[in-house]
Amino acid sequence: MMWKIQDRTIAFGRRGAIMGIVNATPDSFSDGGQFLDPDAAVEHALNLVAEGAEFIDVGGESTRPRATPVDADEEKRRVLPVIAGLRKKSDVLISVDTYKPEVAEAAIRAGANIINNIAGFGGHDEMLDVVNKTGAGIVCMHMQGNPGNMQQSPRYDDVVRDVKTFFDAKLTSAIVAGIDPERVVFDPGIGFGKTLEHNLTLLRHLPSLRVADRPILVGVSRKSFIGKVLGSEKMEDRFWPTVAMTAFCAQNGADILRVHDVRANYYALRMMEAIRG
């Protein structure tokens, strides 16, 4: 199982990978405002790499429920200095977390390698054009609705089947647009237009979501459904459950785990793989 990203090819199989999160935003749900300064964001990213992250995901717009959207110019102002600064200091694979084609293209020019698109391909032919022009890898995530309304009574006939059908359709769209399917990774979008039970059901059935042997990325780090399960509103109480889910997901079909706290989750992956042999 391969992920082609520009001139690199990443192999997946029995070994999972960690994607570290760098939010250059004032309002992200768990770390908003901590890395608004580009130098601080780059330093944080380098620390995540040192702790074991193979990918760094840089975002400039919060996509938490009911977050306030920002325009493309503001998003570029936040992320481009971080991407360019990190690229000068590391050859780590950099992902830009955006659904805007113009932001994605500018980020690739600044040194990013991957587009992490919460809107699938967002209905934008322009986003597929950016992938084609740049050779970038693309993460296609499932979301019902948009961040402003996605948690207003999400409904599915069968959440596993519906997300899998979405992935099938998006892979077909990519192929029709001339994109090598080995450039595509899928993300079920835990917490994006899903209830607690939808989230848990998707995590139970990760192997059923795989399409055409494409890698699966899962992001559960610090998310609110953890607090619902535990009956706690404290952000710090979500740390160890995230580590537990990283081990579970790695055992059950996830290839890339997107997390805030790299070291503990990296160790969880390595221990799970040691047990599996």
- For residue 94, which of 23, 45, 43 has the smallest C-alpha distance? 45
Task: Specify whether 223 is catalytic.
Answer: yes
Q: Which residue has the tokens 């840089």?
A: 58
Residue of 104, 92, 79 lying closest to 28 (CA atoms): 79
Query: How many Å apart are CA 107 and CA 74, to the nearest integer?
Result: 13
- Asked if residues 167 and 142 have their Cβ atoms less than 8 Å apart, the reply is yes
Pick from 7, 12, 8: nearest CA to 186: 12
Report the greatest alpha carbon distance in the chain: 48
Question: How far is Cα 277 from Cα 272, in angstroms, rounded to an integer?
Answer: 9
Annotated active-site residue in 234, 258, 263, 270: 258
* Strand order, beta sheet including 55-59: 184-187, 137-141, 114-117, 93-97, 55-59, 17-23, 256-259, 217-218
**What element of type H or E holds 139?**
strand 137-141
Burial environment of residue 248 by CB neighbours within 10 A (0 to 12, 13 to 18, 19 or more): middle
14, 223, 228, 276: the catalytic one is 223
Q: For residue 87, indicate whether it is catalytic.
A: no
The DSSP secondary structure of 148-202, one letter per residue, reads TTTTSS---SSHHHHHHHHHHHHHHHHHHTT--GGGEEEE--TTSS--HHHHHHH
256 in helix, strand or coil? strand
Closest CA to 90 of 69, 73, 113, 68: 113
Catalytic residues: 223, 258
